[in-house]
Amino acid sequence: SLSLQLMTTAFKLDENNIPSLTLKPSIDTRDGDGLIYSRVGISRKCLMVDSDTDLYGLVEKLMREDGTFFKCGFVDECQFLTEKQVEQLSDVVDKLGVSVSC
């Protein structure tokens, strides 16, 4: 599954101390709040985002507040993002230099 691929990549980054950020639209409540779960039993914590969340603003704020430069961002269930949020992720890539996988 794509969720499993996302989590596998994120775990590899964690093992190499490469900061990453994992997000999931709050409309997807199948796995519980703040959690991505794969059918094979692997789970990962994530930040839940609402349809009105400014994703660029969120990532920029998190980077500024704790001084972490995220190398990668992962978005599970990206089909639930708005068109505006997809554009904001493009800005995360172009303006903040963070690779984003959905």
Residues marked active site are found at 77
| 32 three-state secondary structure | coil
User: Cα–Cα distance between 99 and 72 in angstroms, integer?
Assistant: 5
Q: Are 46 and 22 in contact (CB under 8 A)?
A: yes
Q: Are 88 and 23 in contact (CB under 8 A)?
A: no
Side by side, the strands of the sheet bearing 20-25 are 47-49, 20-25, 72-75, 99-101
